[in-house]
């Protein structure tokens, strides 16, 4: 993939995004620095996606922050396949994120081994691609059945209809949507499938876009 940058413009080969085989370039304007100044009002969801796009296209590995990524843009066909698999039941803000930022690993954290002092990194957030959506939701349903089988019928919790879209690797938890609820219905779910308690009980967000804004505003520091 070839990226050509001027002070505030990024040229991206159009076939990376629309599947064509032409040599034309798609012109996209990105901010060259944070799009919000300090003490400015909370950013909007489009601003958060724009900021994240800028980081993705200017990704430089750094131990000094969490702005390290390994994300993959989706073609129109790939996005449509996810829409079909999810039957368009998920919020449009989720599909917009996939369209603009893709899938993969976001906001790496660096860790130094206390044994040999070697540095390694782990992504805080992973947004699943289509194959992972299928695999992880099958696994979740299997785990749920196994855990419920170990409980007396009168102790089965009300778990809703949970659909997993990714993982929070810092805590080892899934995140996704409870399709038995109307929006807002986004949560980070503790990895006990039969008792999906949520962090969002005490959080300020219950919508996917609010969570993304929080992640971007904090530059990956505040993701729970």
Sheet of 9-13: strand order equals 4-5, 9-13, 25-29
What is the residue-level pLDDT of the chain in tens, covering all 224 positions?
A: 333 333 333 333 333 334 433 333 333 333 334 545 444 457 999 999 999 999 998 876 666 678 889 999 999 999 999 999 999 999 999 999 999 999 999 998 776 666 777 767 777 899 999 999 999 999 988 888 787 777 777 766 666 788 999 998 876 788 899 888 888 888 877 666 556 655 555 555 578 999 999 999 999 888 87
Q: How far apart are CA 213 and CA 192, in angstroms?
A: 27
- Are the C-beta atoms of 107 and 66 separated by less than 8 Å? yes
**Matching residue, tokens 């200017």:** 58
134 close to 142: Cβ distance less than 8 angstroms:
no
The DSSP bridge partners found for residue 221 are none
Domain boundaries, the chain: 76-217
Residue 160 neighbours by CB under 8 Å, 6+ apart: 178, 179, 180, 181, 196
Secondary structure element (H or E) that encloses residue 82, with its range: helix 76-85
């Amino acid at each position: 993939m070839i990226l050509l940058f001027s002070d505030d413009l990024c040229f991206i080969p159009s076939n990376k995004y629309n599947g064509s085989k032409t040599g034309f370039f798609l012109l996209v304007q990105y901010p060259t620095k944070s799009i919000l100044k300090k003490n400015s009002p909370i950013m909007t969801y489009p601003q958060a996606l724009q900021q994240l796009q800028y980081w993705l296209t200017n990704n430089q590995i750094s131990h000094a922050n969490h702005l390290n990524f390994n994300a993959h843009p989706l073609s129109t066909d790939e996005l449509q396949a996810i829409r079909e698999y999810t039957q368009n039941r998920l919020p449009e803000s989720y599909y917009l994120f996939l369209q603009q930022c893709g899938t993969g690993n976001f906001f790496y954290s660096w860790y130094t081994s206390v044994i040999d002092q070697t540095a390694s990194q782990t992504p805080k957030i992973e947004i699943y691609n289509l194959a992972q959506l299928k695999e992880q939701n099958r696994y979740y349903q299997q785990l749920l059945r196994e855990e419920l089988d170990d409980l007396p019928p009168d102790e089965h919790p009300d778990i809703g209809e949970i659909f997993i879209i990714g993982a929070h690797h810092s805590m080892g938890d899934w995140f996704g949507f409870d399709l038995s609820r109307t929006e807002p219905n986004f949560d980070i779910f503790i990895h006990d499938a039969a008792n999906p308690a949520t962090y969002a009980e005490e959080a300020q967000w219950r919508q996917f876009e609010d969570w993304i804004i929080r992640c971007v505003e904090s530059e990956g520091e505040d993701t729970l």
